[in-house]
Amino acid sequence: MRSVTILGATGSVGTSTLDLVERAPDQFRVRALTANCDVAGLAAAAIRTRAELAVVADESCLPALREALRGTNIGAAGGRQAVIDAAAGAAWTMAAIVGCAGLEPVMAAIAAGGTVVLANKEPLVSAGELVLAAAAASGATLLPADSEHNAIFQCLDRDRPERVRRIVLTGSGGPFRDWSTEAMRAVTPAQALAHPNWTMGAKISIDSATMFNKGLELIEAARLFPIAPDRIEIVIHKQSVVHSMVEYVDGSMLAQLGPSDMRVPIAHTLAWPDRLATPLPPLDLIALRRLDFEAPDPGRFPALRLARAALDAGGARPAILNAANEVAVAAFLAGWIGFLDIAAIVADILERYDPPAPRTLDAVLAVDAEARRLAEERLKDCMA
Ligand code: NDP
C-alpha cells in the first residue's frame, strides 16, 4: 500500500487523481487531501477514501469542514501553514494546487522526500532552480503530470540528453487559435473558458486561450529537462493527441500519443516505472484520420514571446511574468478587464519591475508579492 496525498484534491487534476486512486483501493492509502474552501467536495472525497486528514487553506472554512467530518475519524485542519504541514509525509504526492499558492506546499513535499508529482506548474516557473535544488538535496523524485511534460518524460533518454536535437512541445492553440487580434478584443470569460479539447480549471483554461499556458510550459520544460531552451520548440497541434515529441540527432522522433484526458499522464506518474490501467477507451486512430501541425503566432499571442524572453533572461523574470499573469487572469475572470489586457498587463509589469535574481524561497515570494501589487495597481488603468 502506497500512501498518497493530493494537494488541490477538489480541482480538475485533483478529482482525476482521486478517480484513479479510488479504482485501486488495494494499492493506495490516502493520507491527506487539501482544498482552498470547497468543503463539500473535500469532505466527500475524504470520507469516500477514508483519508487520515482533510485540510482547507482558507481558515474561515475550517468550522464547516469540521462539521462535515463530524462522526468520522478524519482529522481536519485549516490555514496556509496547515496545507504546508499536510504536504509532507506521503510516499506519493500530487501537487495540483493552482498558481504560486502551491509553491510552499510543493517545497514541503519535496523536503520530505518521496515522489512529488507536479501538475502545479507555476512553482516551477517562479522558483524552478530552488525546486530542483530541494529535490536534489532531499532525494525526492519529481515526476511531471502536465500532459506535455509527461510525454517528454516518456520519450526522453535521460541518460543521453546530448543526443537530443530538439523537444517539440505541442499545444492545441486554445479556442482562439484562428482568431484575429481584433476579434479577440471582445472575448468574454465564458468563451475563453470553453477549451476545445480539455476540461480544466478556470485559470489554466484562460492561460490556454491566451497561450500563457504554453509559455509557462516552455519554462517548465526548460526547468525539468537538461535541454537548452533554444532547442525547445512550440508547435500548434489542434487535435491534442500527440502530447509532445523528442527528436534525436539521428533524425528519429519519438512521440507520446493519447486521449485528451489527464488520467493518462496521472496514471503514468502513479505507477511509474510500472503501468496502471485506466478506464479510458483506446485512442481511435481511424476515426481521428489526421493530425495537424502548424507554427504558433507570437504576433497574435504575445504570451509566447513574453515567456520566451523571461526564460532567456532568467533571474526574477519568470516569477514576475507568472505573478502578473495570475492577477490579470483573475481580473479577466471577474469581468474587470478585457482579454487582450492580460498580456498587456504582464508585458507592462515586466517592463517596470526588474529586481535582482531571487536566491531563496522568501526572496521569490517577495518578488511574487511585489509583482502582484504592481499588477493590481495597473488593473485600475484598464478598469477606468
Ligand atoms: P482547479 O482550479 O480545478 O483546482 C485548483 C485546486 O487548488 C482546488 O482544489 C482548489 O481548492 C485549490 N486551491 C485554489 N486556491 C488555493 C490556495 N490559495 N491554497 C490552497 N489550495 C488552493 O485547477 P486545475 O486542477 O485545473 O489545475 C491545478 C494545477 O495543475 C494548475 O497549476 C494547472 O496549471 C495544472 N494543470 C492542470 C491541468 C488540467 O487539466 N486541469 C493540466 C496540466 C496542468 P477549491 O476547490 O477549494 O477552490
Q: pLDDT for 35-79, tens place per residue?
A: 999 999 999 999 999 999 999 999 999 999 999 999 999 999 999
Domains detected in the chain:
2-144 (3.40.50.720), 158-258+282-383 (1.10.1740.10)
Cβ 156 under 6 angstroms from ligand 1: no
CA of 252 to the centre of ligand 1 (A): 36
Determine the pLDDT at residue 383. Answer: 80
Cβ 118 under 6 angstroms from ligand 1: no
For atom 9 of ligand 1, which residue has the closest CA? Answer: 8
> Residues 285-306, buried b or exposed e (16+ Cβ, 10 A)?
eeeeeeeeeeebebebbbbbbb
Cβ 131 under 6 angstroms from ligand 1: no
The owner of cell 511574468 is: 321
Confidence of residue 384 (pLDDT cuts 50, 70, 90): low
For atom 42 of ligand 1, which residue has the closest CA? Answer: 146
Task: Give the span between the Cα atoms of 178 and 197, in whole angstroms.
Answer: 15
Q: What is the mean pLDDT of residues 213-233?
A: 98
Looking from the CA of residue 146, the nearest atom of ligand 1 is 43
How much is the mean pLDDT over the chain?
Answer: 97
CA of 163 to the centre of ligand 1 (A): 35
pLDDT tens digits for range 287-314: 999 999 999 999 999 999 999 999 999 9
- CA 260 vs. chain centroid, Å, equals 15
For atom 22 of ligand 1, which residue has the closest CA? Answer: 36
CB 3 within 8 A of CB 92: yes
Strand order in the sheet with 253-257: 232-236, 164-171, 242-248, 253-257
Query: 225 vs 381, which has greater pLDDT?
Result: 225
CA of 106 to the centre of ligand 1 (A): 13
CA of 327 to the centre of ligand 1 (A): 15
Q: Which three cell numbers stand for residue 189?
A: 470569460
Confidence of residue 337 (pLDDT cuts 50, 70, 90): very high
CA of 200 to the centre of ligand 1 (A): 9
Task: Give the span between the Cα atoms of 227 and 173, in whole angstroms.
Answer: 23
CA of 13 to the centre of ligand 1 (A): 7
pLDDT tens digits for range 261-274: 999 999 999 999 99
